[in-house]
C-alpha cells in the first residue's frame, strides 16, 4: 500500500480550515435547503384532515415505508388506520415551517400526528419509530413470538443504521454531488454492495427478513434497497451496483412488489408525471388511489 498513488485533492486547492464556518452554500442539488442549524424558518400551520391519522410526508423511501404500512393495515381490515397524507415539498423548505417543526424538531419527513384521542394528540417522528408505533397500535405486522419480534426489530434498526450509507453516502456522491469524486463513490459503493450481500444471505433461507412473517422490517427495507434494484433511484445505480446478481434479494423484491398495498402505498405523496399519471400528491380517502 505504501506505493499507492494518492488520489488528487478535489478541488485541488482545498484545505480544511481549523474551525468550519457556514459562509456559503454547500453546492449540489440540495444547497438551497441545507443549513447547520435547526428550528423553523417561517410560520406555517399544518393542514388537518378528517381522519385520526395525519401524515406529513413525501414519497421518498422513508415516506413510502409509512404509506405502505398504512395501506397494508387497511387491506388487513384495520379501519382505524385510515389516514390523510399531506405533501411536504422538501425542495421548497416546507419541513422548516413552524407547524412541521412542532411535529418533528429534526425537520425530516415523515412526521405523524395521531388524533385518535383529540384531547391527547400524539406526535411521532422518525420513520422507524412511526412503523413501530403503528404496528403496536394495531397489533399487526410485528410478530408476537419474542424471538421473531426481536428478529424483526433487529432488521428494522439495521435499515435505520444502514440506509444513510446508501442514500446520504452512495446516492449523494453518485447522483447528486456537483462533480464526480472517485474516492467517496468507491467507498460507498463497496459498503452498499456489502449491505446487499447481507440481505441476500439472510433471504437465502428466509422468505422474509424476520423469517416466515411479513413485517415492518420488510416494509422499511424494501423502498430503499428495492427502489434502487428496480431502477427507481440514483439513475443507473442498479447497473453500476450490479443489483441483478443478488438473486435472493430480487426474489423478495418481486414478491413484495406484487402486493397491492405495497403498490398503493408507493404511489402516495408524489407528483404525477406523464410516465406515471397514477401517482398522487395527497391522499385523503381510498378513492384517491382507485
- So what's the pLDDT on residue 147? 96
Helix-helix angle 247-257:182-204, to 10 degrees: 80
The CA-based diameter of the chain, rounded to the nearest angstrom, is 68
Residue 3 pLDDT more than 90?
no
Report the C-alpha dihedral over residues 21, 23, 26, 32, rounded to 10 degrees: 120
- So what's the pLDDT on residue 108? 97
Residue 69 near residue 141 (C-beta atoms within 8 A): yes
Whether the model pTM is above 0.85: yes
- So what's the pLDDT on residue 24? 75
pLDDT digits (tens, 9 = 90+) for 88-122: 999 999 999 999 999 999 999 999 999 999 999 99
What is the arithmetic mean of pLDDT over 49-62?
98
- So what's the pLDDT on residue 241? 98
- C-alpha distances in angstroms, 196 versus 13, 38, 89, 159, 165? 36, 33, 30, 11, 12
- C-alpha distances in angstroms, 126 versus 74, 172, 215? 22, 20, 18
pLDDT confidence bin for 11, thresholds 50/70/90? confident
What is the arithmetic mean of pLDDT over 18-29?
82
- So what's the pLDDT on residue 27? 65
Across 17-31, 224-238, 253-267, least confident range: 17-31
The residue extents of the domains of the chain are 146-265
- So what's the pLDDT on residue 91? 92
What would the grid cell of residue 158 be?
Answer: 439495521
Residue 174 near residue 189 (C-beta atoms within 8 A): yes
Residue 1 pLDDT more than 50?
no
Across 10-24, 161-175, 196-210, 265-279, least confident range: 10-24
Residue 39 CB partners (closer than 8 Å, separation 6+): 96, 101, 105
Alpha carbons 231 and 236: distance in angstroms, whole number: 7
Residue 53 pLDDT more than 70?
yes
SS3 52: coil
Query: What is the distance between the terminal CA atoms of the chain, rounded to a whole angstrom?
Result: 59
Alpha carbons 184 and 170: distance in angstroms, whole number: 8
Across 25-29, 105-109, 272-276, 278-282, least confident range: 25-29
- So what's the pLDDT on residue 4? 66
Question: CA triplet 228, 107, 167: central angle to 5 degrees?
Answer: 20
Q: From 1.25.10.10, 1.20.1050.10, 3.40.190.10, 3.20.20.100, which CATH number describes the 146-265 domain?
A: 1.20.1050.10
pLDDT digits (tens, 9 = 90+) for 138-185: 999 999 999 999 999 999 999 999 999 999 999 999 999 988 999 999
Instruction: State the chain's mean pLDDT as an integer.
Output: 95
- So what's the pLDDT on residue 65? 98
Amino acid at each position: 500500500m505504501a506505493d499507492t498513488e494518492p488520489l488528487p485533492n478535489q478541488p485541488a486547492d482545498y484545505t480544511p480550515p481549523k474551525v468550519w464556518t457556514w459562509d456559503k452554500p454547500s453546492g449540489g442539488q440540495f444547497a438551497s435547503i441545507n443549513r447547520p442549524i435547526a428550528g423553523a424558518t417561517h410560520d406555517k400551520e399544518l393542514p388537518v384532515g378528517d381522519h385520526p391519522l395525519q401524515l406529513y410526508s413525501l414519497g421518498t423511501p422513508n415516506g413510502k415505508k409509512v404509506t405502505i404500512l398504512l395501506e397494508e393495515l387497511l387491506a388487513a381490515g384495520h379501519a382505524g388506520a385510515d389516514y390523510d397524507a399531506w405533501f411536504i415539498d422538501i425542495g421548497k423548505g416546507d419541513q422548516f415551517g413552524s407547524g412541521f417543526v412542532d411535529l418533528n424538531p429534526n425537520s425530516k419527513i415523515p412526521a405523524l400526528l395521531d388524533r385518535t384521542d383529540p384531547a391527547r394528540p400524539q406526535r411521532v417522528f422518525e420513520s422507524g419509530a412511526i412503523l413501530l408505533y403503528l404496528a403496536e397500535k394495531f397489533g399487526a405486522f410485528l410478530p408476537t413470538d419474542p424471538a421473531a419480534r426481536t428478529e424483526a426489530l433487529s432488521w428494522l434498526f439495521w435499515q435505520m443504521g444502514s440506509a444513510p450509507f446508501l442514500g446520504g453516502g452512495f446516492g449523494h456522491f453518485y447522483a447528486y454531488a456537483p462533480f464526480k469524486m472517485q474516492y467517496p463513490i468507491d467507498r460507498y459503493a463497496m459498503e452498499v454492495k456489502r449491505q446487499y450481500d447481507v440481505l441476500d444471505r439472510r433471504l437465502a433461507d428466509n422468505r422474509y427478513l424476520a423469517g416466515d412473517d411479513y413485517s415492518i422490517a420488510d416494509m422499511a427495507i424494501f423502498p430503499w434497497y428495492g427502489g434502487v434494484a428496480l431502477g427507481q433511484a440514483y439513475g443507473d445505480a442498479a447497473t453500476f451496483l450490479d443489483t441483478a446478481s443478488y438473486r435472493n434479494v430480487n426474489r423478495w423484491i418481486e414478491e413484495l412488489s406484487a402486493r397491492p398495498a405495497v403498490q398503493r402505498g408507493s404511489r402516495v405523496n408524489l407528483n404525477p408525471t406523464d410516465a406515471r399519471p397514477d401517482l398522487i400528491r395527497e391522499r385523503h380517502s381510498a378513492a384517491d388511489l382507485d
